[in-house]
Amino acid sequence: MDDSVCDNQNEFNDAFRQAVKYNRKEVQKNLKPLNAVYAVLYLIFLFWAVSLALKVPHGQRRVMHVMFALIFPPAYVLAHYLAEQGSK
């Protein structure tokens, strides 16, 4: 006896695609506020990191610091304050 819900493979494939599409839509709808919070926090860290990097004296090191601050803002802020704490 055949216990399948769908009559053939094509109906199953269509039902599966619709279920995946629905699930993806629901997940994205639930994550939208979380993504907004993440974007705001990232921008805060970005401006904070760039402002710390611009305090480095002019020269090649300053370019490197600004580049790292733009690429890895949260890590740059954390590393800056850990290095400052270690130098005391």
**Are the CB atoms for 62 and 42 separated by under 8 Å?**
no
pTM over 0.95: no
The per-residue pLDDT for 4 is 66
Q: DSSP for 21-54, please give it.
A: HHHHHHHHHHHHHHHHHHHHHHHHHHHHHHHHHT
pLDDT at 8: 81
The residues spanned by each domain of the chain are: 9-86
pLDDT for 12 equals 85
- Mean pLDDT for 37-62 is 93
Residue type, 67: M
Q: What is the mean pLDDT of the chain?
A: 88
